[in-house]
Structure formats: structure tokens, C-alpha cells
Structure 1
């Protein structure tokens, strides 16, 4: 029997694979810059495979890839007529993949996110944001998602509008913030204050996602955990952000000798700045130990990274059978049948 999100949270941890935006750009099916998920219509099989890869790596949730799939983004690229078909297709593909899980059908989450048009001093922008969220959540309801994930908000009030529209459709809500380098939300709230308020207003899970790697997200997660009585979510990016450069927007690569076409390594030259999977696994264990039970990774994550995160918190994934095992490696293995001259050579290799 398929458990709902709250039931899974009660038993915990819930593993959540995100990061489709960068992953599908890396695979060649999405344009960096505009970052609009046209793949749901242009290459549905590629999107299904990305869904599948993250689910097999441990994700309990197949998140419908509608991040940036809102009316404003579609207006910018001149394809507003494709808005509803894109949203419905992304959800339907997610539902197809969720049913493939061999143990328990995965949850399907609808997805709304920062609109980049919210202005706390412009009432008309608030009305526009509400309209954007209302239609997307309505499609989520009609397509039968299990909950809606509202993510990457850097204004508390925009996140509140998202929660209100999700609640109107009587769907569970996960709301997470993207914290910019100022270390405070852009309308003046601390992230822990914002999470506490949204939890009190009915969000099932509150927390943080994107923008920050584990090192610069974890201190704020600890504050949120102390401030919130409900469930807390954490989905950092897998890059080595620092106190000096807390987000990936201005993360430098001191070893880069080539000319970059953009001012920063973001978004297409971040490759040398990855955490390895073992560092991410160590973070996941730390997150679980402080009481976070909705755990995943965001932009830049690979399925192998997510699998390491899942295994670190005690989850055996569908593809754990492919987890690293060096026993049979010709240089670094321990199998007694390996050729001795190769094993003896490994320190020189």
C-alpha cells in the first residue's frame, strides 16, 4: 500500500532527488540561461529517464519538472500557449515513472517555485504571482499529485502566497527557501523566522534548498530545526560553497585558466567545484542526526550523489547493487585471485 508523505516522514527519512535543471542541461536537453523545462514536451523520454535515474538512486519522490515552467517564464521565451501542456505532461510522466518502483510506488510532487517577478513594494506583482501559482496548483490537483513542492523562494511573502494557493487545493505543502549571500531573505525575514511562520500556517515540511552547499546551509538548518516543531527539509547544492562565497552564484574557480563567457562560474563552469559523494554522505548523516527527515540534493546533483546520501542515512536504494566496491579492481582490489604484479604496482600507478 502506498504511504503518503506524512506517513513516510513519521517513519523517516524521506529521500528527495532534485536537480533536474542542471542534470538535463548536462545531458543536452535543456538550455542554460533561460532554464525553461521544455524537455517535458520536446524530449519526454529523456525526462522520464532522469526521473527514473533519481528514483532508482533512492528518491522516494518523483518531482514533476515544472521548475521555471510558469507563465512569466513562458512569456519570456514566447511560448505561453505551451504552459498548460508542459505542466500536465511533466506530471503525467512523473506518475508513469513513480509506478515503476518495484517495492512501493513513489510519491509524485507538483512543483512551483520563485517567479523572479515578486516585488514587496508592488501590489500588482503579488496579484500576478498568486495567479501564476493558482493555475499551476490547480493543474497539480487535477492531475492527482500527492503533494506540492514550493521551492527556492527568497521572499517570505512569495512563499506564503505559494502555501496559501496549495492549501486552497487541500494538498500537502513542502516549502523551502533559497538563501542568498546576504544571509537573510530579501524582505527582511531570517530564514528560521520564515520557516517557523509557514510551519505554523500549515506547511507539512519547511526548510531550505538550492543556492548553498552543505557547509553554508547547515548552520541555518540547525537554526530552523530549533525554531520549527514540524518537519524540516534540506536540499543543498553539491558544490563547495564557503563563508566568503556562500552561494554558487559567485563561486570562484582559482584554477581556471580559460576565459569564461559569463562573469562567474555559474551556471556552466561549476564542474571543478563539486563536493565528492563521500562529503555529501557525511553531510546527510549530520543532517539526519539533528532531526531533518526530508533530505536530498538540488542543482548539480547526480544520481550517484543522491544514492550516497540515501545510503548514508540508512536507505538501501534500487541501485545500491551498483554502489562502489573496489574488491575486484585490478590495482586496488583485495581479491586473492588478482595478479600480484598489478597489486604491487598500485603505489606507482
Structure 2
């Protein structure tokens, strides 16, 4: 096995792919509740979580991201399970390390994960200290469990992202910090996303960029601004949905073709299925992002391993399961192999 390189070494060598999207993927697989979106799967169904980690790693992820998104003290308080906070965090990391060591070529990186708390209030100093304490304990567990770096993600306040970065730095760990941009096209404390990323990079983040909320179509223009504003490594991890200028995030995407009554006012989060990008749209976006100089690639909520494999292959990597990438040569209707039956090929347009 090749000696395990650090995140910075891999970035220096070329694109890094990070599999995200466990939240929706594990809900689809039946191991997580939509709405609360708390990753109790790390304790209740650890083998299911390991398989999700494994599937994304085999699809080309260089990183096994510990599934601790929403596993912070506030979320655990809301579901009245604060006593499970530390064991959940630690077990999610330990499972990630087990899977990372399975990689046959080079052990995958393991990343800790902290995220938006939904309690940060720029006008409330007490909320800032509460957030800092929440991040500090989670990052300390990351350090003790031996992660390679910490991913701080989906921040829609610059100041909350900066607090996350500071707490990661206190533990002497590399930081990837990505921002979630709402439909106002500006962070909620008034910063443009490119200015926030520039400042975070100046304060020591190894990688800065965007994740979640926006699909490729409505994220890419802002990623380009970040790339222009920042000298270092830039990340882009959109959701795989067809967001538009009119509906730039997946929170309010309409489905004009739906004939049934939805249980929620919006298609988010459980009725987004018809609004997916196809895998070739995802690949096209990844090539575009690569061409403008993005370094750290992935997909967020809604991603599947097959979609992530498209990203990895589009940026020039071969995934462990690339041998299962589509190949229509021998399909009985749509192939072009000489061994196929001519009468079937002639029928293809009528099928």
C-alpha cells in the first residue's frame, strides 16, 4: 500500500474528492429520520454507516468524512439525547477510520466534521460562546480520535465559520471550511461568500469554498468568484439538484409535474426526487469546476455513490469501482458490439 499522504500533499498532487451526502443517503436507505436529521445511525446501525462510508470511498472519495453533521449539543438537546453526544461523535470517527484502512491502494484520509448550529446570532454574545463551546468539544474528540483534518461546513454566517476555524486551529488540525449560501446570495451577517472565503483563508484555513443548498447551476458562479478572490485551495460541493436563478437553493424548488398532495409545503426534503441532475450534468459541472481551478470536489445532500464516481472520473481519477461505470457496448438494444443480435438492434427505436 502507498504511504498515506496528508490532505495538503494530496492537494499539491492534484484534485481531492470528498464524499458527502450521508444525511439524505442514509435516510433513503432507511436508517435516519428526515426532519430531525440526527445521525444516530452511528450508534444504532453502525454497519449501515460503515457501508455508506465504504460505498462513497469505493466511488472515488479520497476522504472518509465522519458522519457527525448535526451531532452537536443543540441538536442532541432537542431530541433529548445529550447523553449520547460524545459516544455518537467518537463512534462515527472510529467507524470512518476502520473503513479508511480498507482502501487497497492508499489509506483514505479521515475527516472530523462540525457544521452550522442554527443557534448562532450575531447580535447575541451568549450564543457565540455557546457555539464556541459546542465546536470545542467536538473538535477535541476529533483530535483524540486521530482524524487527519476537520471539515467545518454549511455555515451561513461568516463569524460562525471563523469560530469553527479558530477551534480547529486550537487543536492543531488542518481545516476545510465551506459555506452554505442562501437565496439572498449573501451570507446572513452581510459578507459576500468570496470575501468570507478570502478572510477565512487569510486566517489559516487550508481549503475554503462552498457546500450544500445550491445545485451546480447556481453554485458555480459564486465558486468562480471565490477562485478569483483566493490564492489557496478552493472547494465546491453542490447538491445534485436542478436549482435555478429563480429558485437558487433546494429549499424551495417546485415540482410542476407532481399530481399528489405533498405532506410538506415544499419539495424539500423528501419530495426532491424528480428534480435531480443526471450523472452527466454532474460530470459536466465537475469538469467546469476543475477547469477554473477548483481543488477539492464533492457533492452534498442528495448525492449517491454513482454520482460521486462521475465527479471523480471527470476530474481525472479512477475510482475503485470504476470497473462498474456504464458501458453500453453489449446492451441488447443499444450496444454496438458485433456479437449482438441484429433484429434487436433494428427494434431499438420502437422499444
Q: TM-score range by the shorter chain?
A: over 0.9
Per the normalisation by structure 1, the TM-score is: 1.00
Q: In the TM superposition, what is the alpha-carbon distance from 1:339 to its structure 2 partner?
A: 1.2
Q: Which of the numbers 136, 139, 154 marks the counterpart of 1:137?
A: 139
Per the normalisation by structure 2, the TM-score is: 0.99
SS in 2 for 1:249: coil
Residue 18 of structure 1: aligned partner: 20
Residue 313 of structure 1: aligned partner: 315
Residue 109 of structure 2: aligned partner: 107
SS in 2 for 1:275: coil
Matched, 1:215 2:217: yes
Q: Which of the numbers 278, 281, 296 marks the counterpart of 1:279?
A: 281
Q: In the TM superposition, what is the alpha-carbon distance from 1:91 to its structure 2 partner?
A: 0.1
Residue 129 of structure 2: aligned partner: 127
Residue 266 of structure 2: aligned partner: 264
Alignment of 1:96-245 (within 5 A): 96-245=98-247
Residues in 1 aligned to 2:78 and 2:218: alpha-carbon distance in whole angstroms: 32
How many residues end up aligned between the 2 structures?
349
Q: In the TM superposition, what is the alpha-carbon distance from 1:12 to its structure 2 partner?
A: 1.3
Residues in 2 aligned to 1:230 and 1:314: alpha-carbon distance in whole angstroms: 21
Aligned residues: CA RMSD: 0.4
Residues in 2 aligned to 1:337 and 1:308: alpha-carbon distance in whole angstroms: 28
Q: Which of the numbers 75, 87, 90 marks the counterpart of 2:89?
A: 87
Ranges of 4+ aligned residues in structure 1 off by more than 6 Å: none
Residue 290 of structure 2: aligned partner: 288
Return 5+ residue gaps in structure 2 as ranges.
none
SS in 1 for 2:150: strand
Residues in 1 aligned to 2:28 and 2:290: alpha-carbon distance in whole angstroms: 29
Residues in 2 aligned to 1:16 and 1:294: alpha-carbon distance in whole angstroms: 7
SS in 2 for 1:328: coil
Q: In the TM superposition, what is the alpha-carbon distance from 1:336 to its structure 2 partner?
A: 1.0
Q: In the TM superposition, what is the alpha-carbon distance from 1:338 to its structure 2 partner?
A: 1.1
Q: In the TM superposition, what is the alpha-carbon distance from 1:335 to its structure 2 partner?
A: 1.3
SS in 1 for 2:178: strand
Residue 37 of structure 1: aligned partner: 39
Residues in 2 aligned to 1:241 and 1:177: alpha-carbon distance in whole angstroms: 17
Residues in 2 aligned to 1:12 and 1:26: alpha-carbon distance in whole angstroms: 32
